[in-house]
Structure 1
Amino acid sequence: MMMTAIGLMSGTSLDGVDVAMIETDGRRVKSFGPTSYRPYSDRERCLLRQALTEAVNLPQRDARPGILPEAERAVTVAHAEAVAAFTAQHHITCQDIDIVGFHGQTVLHRPAERMTVQIGDATALAKAIHIPVMHDFRAADVAAGGQGAPFVPVYHRALAQSLEREGPLVVVNIGGVSNITYIDGADTLIACDTGPGNALLDDHMLRTMSQAFDCEGRMAAQGAVDVAWVVRALNHPFFAKPPPKSLDRNDFASLKLQEMPPADGAATLTAFTAEAIARIVAHLPKEPKSWIVAGGGARNLTLLRMLRERLQPATVEAAETLGWSGDAIEAQAFGFLAARGLKGLPLSYPATTGVPIPMTGGVIARP
C-alpha cells in the first residue's frame, strides 16, 4: 500500500530544516512531492553549536543538562514551523499525510559506547502538526551494536534501481560528514561514513571569514592545497578501517590548520574531504563505475572538480542532474524510512551499519 510521507532532516551542517514529501510503499518510490527549507536563524545556530559542545559529556541519552532543553525546544519549534509553512504553501491538510519522519538534531554520536542522541520533542511536534511522527530511528541499531549510521542507504538503493544503470554505483552524500552507499545490483549494499564532509570547511569559513560556508567552492578555488597537511590528516586511524564505520561531526575537530591564508585553508580542507571519500575505494569489492554526489557538498564546484580528478575514470555527477533532489535527498529518505518503519521493514543491515541482523527501528509519537 502506498503512503504519503513527509520527511524532515536537520543535519550536521546546522544550516536548517529540510522538508520533503514522498509517495512510497517503503520499498520503491512512486513519486516525489514538493520540498522546502526552513533556515536556522543565527541565534538558533549558535544555540545548536553550544548544545554540541555541552553534549560531549552526556551521562545517558535522555539527559538534558545545561543548554540542551533550550536547544531541544528550538529544534522542535523550527520543525513545527517548517511543516506548517510547507503544508500551507502547498495546500496540504494533515489528513493528506500518513506519517512524518523526524530525524531530530544529532548532538552526540558514539556508537562504540552505544550512545546516539538526537534532540527534538517528537510528541510535542506531533501535537503541533496533528500528524503521527516517527522518530528515534538510530537508537535500536546502536543498542544492538550497530554504528547507527549511515541510515540513508536503503533509500539510495530505491533511487538507484530506477536508473537501471550498470554498477557498481556509489551515492555519496556530503553533509557535515560524508557517507557513501555502494550499490551493485539488487543484493550488494555497503555503506559507511568516509570522513569529514562540509563540517571542517564550514567551521573554517565561519572562523576566518564570518561566512557560514564556502559558496560554490569559490574560496577554495583561489587557494593552494597544503598537501603535507592532508597526508598527515589521512593518517587518522579511521581511514584504515573497513566499512561499516561512522563518525560524530566533531571527531576531526582536533585537526588544526597551521597559519595560512583563508583561501589556502579552504582549499586544503576541501582536498581533505575529497581524498577521504576517495580512500574508501580500496575498501570496496569492486572499483565503482559512477559516483552520484548529493547533499550540500554537491554545490561545491571545487569539491566536485577534485573528486573528478581523484576518481577518474569513473564518472562523477551531481544528483540533481539525474532529476534527484540533491538538497532534499536526506529529508526524502526519512519519509521513506518512516514508511518502512510503519511496515516493520529493515532500516539498517550488517553491511550498512554493522548491526548483527537486519534491524527495523523508529518510535511513533501520536498527536
Structure 2
Amino acid sequence: MKNYRVIGLMSGTSLDGLDIICVRFSYRNTWKYQIEYSTTYSYSDEWIQKLKNAPQLNEEQIRLLDLEYGILLGEMINHFTQENKIIKTELDLISSHGHTIFHQPERGITLQIGDGQSISNLTKINVINNFRAVDVSLGGQGAPLVPIGDQLLFSEYTYCLNLGGIANISIKEKNEIKAGDIAFANMVSNDLAKKKNLMYDIDGHLAESGRISVPLLNELNKLPYFDKPFPKSLATEGYVNWFKPVLEKYDLPVEDKLHTVGNHLCIQIKRAIKEIESPILITGGGSFNSFWIKNLSNLGLNIKIPDRELVEYKEALIFALLGVLKKENLINVLSSVTGSSSDTSSGDMFNPNS
C-alpha cells in the first residue's frame, strides 16, 4: 500500500479566503483519504482588493504579485503547520491551486498566481502547482480539474456538484466522465449581498425574501453560454463582461435579484442532470444556501449533502490528490472533461532551495 501525507490549498473566485487541509491518502487498488486538519484563513481587505484588481495590472506588476502571493501562502502554511503541530518532515508535498487571475482558454491564456518556489523556500517542503496551463496549451478549457478526484474518491455518485463562486459538475456517463462549469453561484450572490453591506447572503435569507423577475430570469437563461455543451468553463471575466451587465439593466431590489439569480442557477443545474433519481453529491459554500437547496429539491433532484468538513474542503482535498497524481506521473487532467487533445499529468514541481 502506498501512503502520502499532503497539504492542499484552494483559493476560489468568491475571495472568501484560503482553504488549507492536511490529508492522508492511501492506495491499494482504490484511493482512500482521511482529512486530518482543515481551516480557512480569511484574506485581509488589502489582499481582497489586490486579487480583485490583479487583471488590470501589467506583466511586471503581475509577476511581483505572483511572488508576493506565494510568500503569503508560505506564511499561511507555516502558521497552519505550527498551529496543528504538524511535523514538516512527515509531509510529502504541498499541492496548491493558486488564485486565478486570468482564465481565457479560447485565447490560450490561464494564470494562477502563487509562486511555487517562494512557497517551497519558505516552508522547506516540495510544492506542486500550475495544474491548468498544459491542458490549455493542448486546446482544452483547463477546467474543471476536480472530476478526476470525483472519479477516484467519490465513484459511488453519478453527479458531483460544487456550489462555489462558480457552480460546476462532474457527470459519470457509462465509462466516461463529463464535466463543466454550469453557472455563476456564490460569485454573483456575494456581489449582490455587498449592496446590503453583507459579505454573503446568510443561509439564502435575502433571496428567500425576494420575488422573481420573469423578464430578468428569461434574459439570463437566454445568454449564449448556457446553451453550449460541455466541456465549457467560466471565470470572473465572464461575470464582469456579460453576466453582471444584464443584472444592472434591471432596477430591482437586491432581494429580487438574488431570488431571480437563485432560480436561474437551479434551472441551469437541473438542465445538466439527466437522471434526476440518481444521488447528487453537493459540496461548496453554496450548500449552506437554504434557498438554493430548497429549490433544487423542489425541482425533484435527489440531493445529498455530506458532513460540513467535506462540504467546505472538497476542492482543497482534490487538489491535494492532483499533486500526488503528478508526483507519481499519473493522469490528473481528463481530456473528456476539458476538451483538450489528450489526458495529461499536469503541474509544475518545486524543491526548496537550501
TM-score above 0.5:
yes
Between the two proteins, the alignment pairs up a number of residues equal to 344
Matched, 1:336 2:321: yes
TM-fit CA distance, 1:70: 5.4
TM-fit CA distance, 1:69: 4.6
Q: Distance in 1 between matches of 2:15 and 2:33?
A: 30
Q: After superposition, what is the alpha-carbon deviation per residue over 1:92-133, rounded to whole angstroms, capped at 9, x for unaligned? A: 121111011011110110111111011111101110111000
Matched, 1:217 2:204: yes
Q: Distance in 2 between matches of 1:218 and 1:79?
A: 33
Q: Distance in 2 between matches of 1:73 and 1:41?
A: 17
Matched, 1:354 2:336: no
Query: How do residues 193-212 of structure 1 correspond to structure 2 at under 5 angstroms?
Result: 193-206=181-194, 208-212=195-199
Q: Which amino acid aligns with 2:340?
A: V
Whether the aligned pair in 1 keeps the contact of 2:10 and 2:18 (CA below 8 Å) is yes
Choose which of 237, 261, 275 in structure 1 pairs with 2:267.
Answer: 275
Distance 1:288 1:107, change over 3 A: farther
Q: Distance in 1 between matches of 2:276 and 2:137?
A: 33
What residue is the counterpart of 1:22 in the other structure?
Answer: 23
Aligned with 2:161: secondary structure? strand
Aligned with 2:239: secondary structure? coil
Whether the aligned pair in 2 keeps the contact of 1:177 and 1:249 (CA below 8 Å) is no
Q: After superposition, what is the alpha-carbon deviation per residue over 1:309-337, rounded to whole angstroms, capped at 9, x for unaligned? A: 22x1x31122327xx61111111111100
Distance 1:216 1:74, change over 3 A: farther
Q: Distance in 1 between matches of 2:3 and 2:236?
A: 35
Q: Which amino acid aligns with 2:46?
A: R
What residue is the counterpart of 2:296 in the other structure?
Answer: 307
Q: Which TM-score applies when normalising by structure 2?
A: 0.91
Q: Distance in 1 between matches of 2:331 and 2:199?
A: 36
Unpaired runs of 5+ residues, structure 1, are none
What residue is the counterpart of 1:37 in the other structure?
Answer: 40
Matched, 1:325 2:310: yes
Q: Which region of structure 1 is more displaced relative to structure 2, 142-151 or 228-237?
A: 228-237
Choose which of 150, 164, 176 in structure 2 pairs with 1:188.
Answer: 176
Query: How do residues 236-315 of structure 1 correspond to structure 2 at under 5 angstroms?
Result: 236-253=223-240, 254-257=245-248, 258-281=250-273, 286-287=275-276, 289-310=278-299, 312=300, 314-315=301-302
Q: Which amino acid aligns with 2:203?
A: E
Whether the aligned pair in 2 keeps the contact of 1:22 and 1:336 (CA below 8 Å) is no
Q: After superposition, what is the alpha-carbon deviation per residue over 1:26-72, rounded to whole angstroms, capped at 9, x for unaligned? A: 761242221111110111111111113x16xx7xxxx344xx35543
Whether the aligned pair in 1 keeps the contact of 2:247 and 2:257 (CA below 8 Å) is no
Q: Which amino acid aligns with 2:23?
A: I
Percent of residue pairs identical: 26
What residue is the counterpart of 1:140 in the other structure?
Answer: 134
TM-fit CA distance, 1:250: 2.9
Whether the aligned pair in 1 keeps the contact of 2:148 and 2:334 (CA below 8 Å) is no
What CA RMSD, in Å, does the superposition of the two structures yield over aligned residues?
Answer: 1.9
Higher helix share: 2
TM-fit CA distance, 1:75: 2.6
Whether the aligned pair in 2 keeps the contact of 1:170 and 1:288 (CA below 8 Å) is no
Q: Which TM-score applies when normalising by structure 1?
A: 0.88
